[in-house]
Amino acid sequence: MFFELRQYRIRPGQQAAWVALMEAEIIPFQTAQGMDIRGSWVGEDDETQYFWMRAFESETERERLYEAVYQSDTWKNIIGPKIPDLMDREGIIVTRIVPTPQSGIK
């Protein structure tokens, strides 16, 4: 098992709109496709920071889920077009992490 810790740079003044999009559309859609989303967070003192974490059992599962989500008509035609106005895609940082033996999140 491994996780993706994803950090996004939200456009100034767009944090509330971004969180609303994530919680009302992106997270429910991805969860319905089988994604295991463990949480999402905003920066306490920086309104341009957004973090979320997804878990995968294997690289094969990650590839299958990416295909199901990002190649879908829903993503391409409905959800995806909303993103550029709210988030700077050039600022995305994705870190793959694995839990330690005593980690509370596994």
pLDDT mean for each 10 residues of the chain (106 residues): 97 97 98 98 97 98 98 98 96 96 90
**What CATH number should be reported for the domain holding residue 37?**
3.30.70.100
Look at residue 106 and tell me if it is in a domain. Answer: no
The number of distinct structural domains making up the chain is 1
**Can you give the pLDDT at residue 93?**
97
Look at residue 62 and tell me if it is in a domain. Answer: yes
| Domain residue limits at 20 | 2-97
Look at residue 90 and tell me if it is in a domain. Answer: yes
How many Cα neighbours within 13 Å face the side chain of 24?
A: 9
Q: Could you tell me which residues come within 8 angstroms of residue 29 by beta carbon, excluding any fewer than 6 positions away?
A: 69, 74, 75, 79
**Can you give the pLDDT at residue 98?**
97
